[in-house]
Structure 1
Amino acid sequence: MDGHGPWEAEGALQLAGQRLALLDSARVYACGITPYDVTHLGHATTFVWVDMLGRALRLLGIEPDICRNVTDVDDVLDDAAARAGTDAEWFAAVGQFQFDTEMNQLNLRSPQHEPRAHRYIPHVVRLARHLLHSGSAYAREGSVYFKGGQVPARAGIDHDRALELAAEYGGRPDDPAKDHPLDVAVWQACGPDRVGWQSPWGRGRPGWHAECVAMSASVFGPAVDVHGGGADLAFPHHAYHAVMAEALTGVAPYARAWFHVGTVTVEGEKMAKSAGNLVLVSDLLAEHPAAAIRMMILDRPWHTCWDYSPELLDTAGARLEELYRAAGRSSGSAAAQQRVRQALAADLDVPTALDIAVDSGGDAARTLVTVLGLT
């Protein structure tokens, strides 16, 4: 047996041109939400694709072990709770409930693990201790900073752009306590105006990247098979997560493959509250079937950015009807089913899989309806 033929799509997945060989399971870490505001289409796109990744893995004979964290310790969450006149923990719980409700309506399967940052404070303290011991971090003025000057080059980001992104994402490059503007807080000193905890360095709170390192390493150990999240988080968040995790464990690479899902824009501008162009999941669900929303998200390459317009839902609805009609036909072949599997194994090529399923009908179409979560 040469390993080719009908079983060639078993146990292997290609992501972004990289073949990922797997045996019986795949560890997938997905950066989750900060539950301080409503869920928009950009969020949903990332999490629908992570759900699709899990479903495709299962079709290929691999059991997905998915961890989707909740960042419920964050400055923006504190600020939103203060504006609402309530405490951050209650505010985060309400936001998480709303998010879970909408993801359930979009037919996402629950992740196997859903760690919440506020439960991992001792883990972040240990992480800071280990990084200090290895010389990868230093303590100053009640904070512990990870030495991150090398991270942009590794991520392929030039210094000036790295500084811009660090400032945009709360990295505080102007913090005078740092040795280097691109060092990041593993543990950040804070006053009584912020939610905080006692530590060996005084009262503070975990840094954003450190939270994910602590949760990922606690759930999966030193490495993951796939790290997923929005492409807009590739730097600084994912880049610092990987380098910090490797500094902790000595195991590299931290992630065998990256699943950076393309961002969603409106008239060419990134969807964001500050831009006033949010397309809310709740509004879409009120007017369109969940299956049509999923089809709109999935009928395209997962890594490409795309521009939302209402007409896309009409196109997705028509495509959905084509697939449903094909699934109702008794025709089809085992060869067509295998071609669907091969298309999904080849970088989750949903458009090609859809073309095959609609043309063949029968079992191939019915299989794809299930794998795309359209039932």
Structure 2
Amino acid sequence: MTLRLALAGEPLPLVGRARAYVCGITPYDTTHLGHAATFVWADVAARVLRRIGVEVEMCRNVTDVDDVLDAAAERAGRRFDSFAAVGQFRFDRDMAALGVRPPTHQPRAHNHVDGVVRLASALLERGVAYERDGEILFRAAATGLDVVEVPPDASEVPPSRRAEDPRDPTVWRPATPGEAAWPSPWGEGRPGWHAECAAMALSVLGPAVDLHVGGADLRHPHHTGMAAMAEALTGVRPFARARLHVGTVRVDGAKMAKSAGNLVLVADLLETHPAAAIRLLLLDRPWDRPWDLAPGALDAAAGRLERLFAAAARNAGGVATDAVVAALLDDLDVPAALDIAENEGGEAARTALSVLGLT
């Protein structure tokens, strides 16, 4: 029997290699638990694929050209690039502590601005973009992007005042005074958010990917926008064969975000709890469901971890090991895999702890 991963009920057949694009951080408020959830789940998906012999080529970008990051850098009295570098250092440190393996590629947006310019030029040539006062906008109606059902947790991107249709996302825009800017055929400017990721994904992984990973709030307009731009450029559809949109982490019902003032930082949690317990807190649930960080949840995860280690120490056979792997291949059902591991112990528990990166 061929082993393969299924996500959201759909099998993902792979031959030898999987290309995964993970929407990375904007490095200015790193690393809160909402960030960590996405990257820990991406790491687990890669580990499960490697378990069945699939090589994973993972690209996780860094959005270091961003209006919000620039504003945060200005408040701190720092240049955007040095400010982003410090945030990236903190993020990498937190990921290492949580056992998240480094990606194969980690492109930074400021190194791919020329790619965005080429993307914008090509979209103009294909008639799916237009120019207004130095801004290049992507025609949503021409690509089906305007009919996408907007999920309730979608990220909010205000429409451009130059857009013919408020649903038309920016590919390139003029820079305002004081902003970092780059040359283009339309004047000094900056890339649009979706276009940055499209350019990085196309440059590193080619015209399509097997798995696209990000927080649930990035489904629209970010992932739909970048995919539509890539598909319009290459003609290859779909851009992503499968998607892993990780459920939002909330505090008292509100999405964890700097704007909400409810961030829970990984670095702070690491001062009082084992990294493996934090990782288990993020994983012991369905990957696509939003969830609230409840009081005592981290202590409960630490208790579950202790029971798993105790189970792994038992002298039990490996009969249930296949059941652990089967649960993980069935929509990354970590809770089911952990229940089997805890109940059966021995090799089954050791397999679960290893594949899930908890050892």
Q: How far has the Cα of 1:372 moved from its partner? A: 1.1
Residue 64 of structure 1: aligned partner:
56
- Contact in 2 for aligned 1:145/1:183 (Cα 8 Å): yes
> How far has the Cα of 1:152 moved from its partner?
3.9
Measured after TM superposition, the shift of residue 184 of structure 1 is 1.2
For 2:219, the equivalent position in structure 1 comes to 234
Alpha-carbon separation, structure 2, partners of 1:142 and 1:241: 20
Amino acid in structure 1 at the alignment position of 2:5: L
Q: Does 1:356 align with 2:340?
A: yes
Q: Which digits, 9 at most, give the CA deviation of each residue in 1:288-338, with x for residues without a partner?
A: 0001001111011100111002311121111111110111112122x3111
Asked if the contact 1:29/1:227 (under 8 Å) is kept, the reply is yes
For 1:1-375, list aligned pairs within 5 A: 4=1, 8=2, 10=3, 12-149=4-141, 150-153=144-147, 155-157=148-150, 168-169=156-157, 172-173=158-159, 175-333=160-318, 335-375=319-359
Q: CA deviation at 1:84?
A: 0.8
Alpha-carbon distance in 2 for matches of 1:157, 1:292: 34
Deviates more, 1:119-128 or 1:267-276: 267-276
Q: Is the 8 A contact 2:29 2:258 kept in 1?
A: no
- Structure 1: which 5+ runs fail to align? none
8 Å contact from structure 2 (residues 119, 199) kept in 1: yes
Aligned partners of 2:47, 2:268: CA distance in 1, in Å?
26
RMSD: 1.5
Which structure 2 residue ranges, 5 or more long, are not aligned? none
Residues matched between the structures, number: 357
- Superposition deviation, residue 230 in structure 1: 0.1
Does the Cα contact within 8 Å between 2:63 and 2:109 map onto a contact in 1? yes
Could you tell me whether the CA contact under 8 Å between 1:191 and 1:203 is conserved in 2? no
User: Tell me, what secondary structure is at the counterpart of 1:139?
Assistant: strand
Structure 1 residue 134: Cα displacement: 0.5
Query: 2: distance between equivalents of 1:31 and 1:157?
Result: 19
1:370 maps to a residue whose letter is S
Matches of 2:22 and 2:253 in 1, distance apart?
A: 26
Structure 1: how far apart are the matches of 2:244 and 2:161? 35
Displacement over 2 Å in runs of 4+ = none
Using the size of structure 1 for normalisation, the TM-score is 0.92
Distance (whole Å) between structure 2 residues aligned to residue 275 and residue 127 of structure 1: 34
Distance, in Å, in 1 between the alignment partners of 2:13 and 2:26 is 32
* Identity level (%): 57
Normalised by the length of structure 2, the TM-score is: 0.96
